Amino acid sequence: MLISQRIFVESVRQYCLDHEIAIEVRSDGWLIVMRRGPRRHLAFGYDVGLNSATAHQIANDKAATAELLKLSGVPCIPHTLFLGPKRSAFVPASRSPDAMLRLLTDHPGGLVVKPNEGTSGECVFMVTTKPALERAVAVIFSAYPGLAISPFVNIEDEVRVVLVDDLAVVVYSKSRPSVVGDGEHSLLELARAATPEPLRSRVLADIAGDMARAELDAILPMGQRRVLNWRHNLDFGARPVLVEAGEIRNACVRTAVKAAQAIGIRFGSIDVVRVDGAWHILEVNSGVKMEALGRLHPDLVHAAYHTALDKVFG
């Protein structure tokens, strides 16, 4: 999909048309200039410009977000920052490669290693051994200035809450991709058939990186369900499912609002995960990307962006 075809750009265009706001779409859709009379307002990427620069920077930094949430008493998954060789002079000696290995020792169930900044699940690794940790670190540092390490936890549910100030405009869970065996086809064949073509190469490459070849080629028994990915990531095949009103939705919204208030985010998407029956913040995003949800519920996505733009234009 071309950047200019993003539902975000489409939604902003429609809002401006409905409210007699002049609009210019620049930089292949990444920069949007809106004018009403003498006033000019900018949107960039998936950010409509409601958040302060400080809140945006904190939300974009996974380790800083976790630190601030901990200080604010908001339950969250801890993330420890490690900077690459070019920036290591700015980090205390305790944040050395030895500190990474100590984390691995402290969490024998494994670690999740990811870029400290960025979204879409790129370069995210689950590791349980020293060689795997070293490979993950090398890959991330080759492309990013820093990484964050968190303990691997068994996530029972992951829910994304999109907030405009304290109002939850969208709440949906992320259902991981799975297949059911038929006793005839291999796990890889079932995964290929079940994955939409636009995501197929990415999802299959991810599966191949996590599983041994013998496991991929094995015939899945009739009726056996197999989850294909340990991550609840929409760009890697997870499916957005709206969360209906009720206890789960209320609990996720309460936790998300506390996180947004702690950071000062006015418009953002907050990922809330259930671990051992309790809800924790996984990540906070100041840019609200809803492409996957927009393919299923475009009217809901437009309404969410328009609510945020109402705050911008009063």
**Directed axis angle between helix 187-194 and helix 197-210, to 10°?**
150
What is the predicted pLDDT for the residue at 283? Answer: 94
Domain boundaries, the chain: 3-50, 78-152, 180-229
Give the 3-state secondary structure of residue 265. coil
Tokens matching residue 162: 């999109």
How deeply is 12 buried, as exposed, middle or buried, from its count of CB atoms within 10 A (0-12, 13-18, 19+)?
buried
| CA–CA dist 101, 133 (Å, integer) | 8
Residues with Cβ within 8 Å of 204's Cβ and at least 6 positions away in sequence, in order, are: 188, 191, 192, 195
Nearest to 240 by CA among 155, 158, 122, 123: 158
Tokens matching residue 102: 């100590």
What is the predicted pLDDT for the residue at 201? Answer: 73
Domain spanning 78-152 has what CATH number?
3.30.1490.20
| CA–CA dist 148, 123 (Å, integer) | 11
| Tens of each residue's pLDDT in the chain, 314 residues | 444 468 999 999 999 999 999 999 999 899 999 999 999 999 999 999 999 999 999 999 999 999 999 999 999 999 999 998 776 666 555 567 889 999 999 999 999 999 998 766 678 899 999 999 999 999 999 999 999 999 999 999 999 999 999 999 999 999 877 778 888 888 778 878 777 777 677 667 767 666 667 777 788 888 888 777 767 677 667 789 999 999 999 999 999 999 999 999 999 999 999 999 999 999 999 999 999 899 999 999 999 999 999 999 98
| CA–CA dist 137, 220 (Å, integer) | 34
What is the predicted pLDDT for the residue at 91? Answer: 59
Torsion of CA 55, 41, 291, 62, to 10 degrees: -10
Give the 3-state secondary structure of residue 242. strand
